[in-house]
Amino acid sequence: MSADSYLIERGQRLNSISAASDVAAAFPLLKVLRPSRETYARLRNAVTTYIWHTLSQAFPNKTFDLTSAVLEEFRAFIAALPNRTPNGVLLPRRQTHLSFNLVHQALADMFAQLGLLQHFSSIQAPVNIRAVTGTPEPVADTRPYSSSKIHTDVWNGEPLASILFNIPILGDVDAVALQFFEPAHFPESLRKPLNDYRLGDDVVRGAAAYQTSFEMNRIYMSDGLSLHQTLKRREGLRLSIDFRAIPGILLPGETAETSYSKAKYVATDAWRLLADTVIMVSDKPMDAFQRAMSGERFAAVDFSTTLIESP
């Protein structure tokens, strides 16, 4: 199978997955879906609550009002959160797992309503809630796996079969945008983890940008071999959700193996129950990431689950 026909086949699978959804824009390796206003508003409110809860736990001597402008009013505090990674993920922790479950419940209900869950065998849990600043961050932006570089998550260890979801929720999506690209070719030798996104420049050079903007009230569903890049245009802060899922239909060369991924995947039926009849509970303190970067060792377990009701 040629590289071009392989990409075509991947695009056809994406067409099948999105067929029953409300599609706002369609490209071969990217579908822009339109969720209902009600489910999107519920997810946005849950994320706002999670941000407020995280701020109040990280800075207990400060007062944070729970408002829809939480990103704009407390941008400096969000950028300084101890559970924020260099790529902006706000890690759920022991002090904030209750509000994080609200986010997951709203997200799972949205995807069930869109008819998407039936197409996947497993889904990442927990999902990433990511706060990215438009201000250049020289150290973070030059890391081997910096999201400011054009890349595919496959190069960072995500499964070749994975489908990526990006959902903008709060903040300035024009100041801190997300651009998607379609590769003209994708040699088999580069369909694997790389030590630096720059090692994929042969694919990047021939890629064409999709002419679509990054907008609120949209779900961006892209194939694992599409490319994307965070664009930092000016000062601002954007918060979004991103995660990956493994489709039930695998193509040649793909497996459902996720052992190289830094994320955890759970069966779709179990993912749907999370935050409903099963609560996710973190065992790590708010500053665990920073302490781990300083060399402190933690047990491997991050999230456990607690059954609250028989399904």
Q: What is the DSSP letter of 192?
A: S
Asked whether 276 and 269 are in contact (CB, 8 A), the reply is: no
pTM beyond 0.85: yes
Residue with more model confidence, 303 or 82: 82
Q: How far apart are CA 18 and CA 222, in angstroms?
A: 11
Q: Domains of the chain (ranges plus CATH)?
A: 3-307 (2.60.120)
pLDDT class for 139, splitting at 50, 70, 90?
A: confident
Query: How would you class 61 by CB atoms within 10 Å of its CB: exposed for 0-12, middle for 13-18, buried for 19 or more?
Result: exposed
In tens, the pLDDT along 208-245 reads 999 999 999 999 999 999 999 999 999 999 999 999 99
Query: Span 187-203, mean pLDDT?
Result: 95
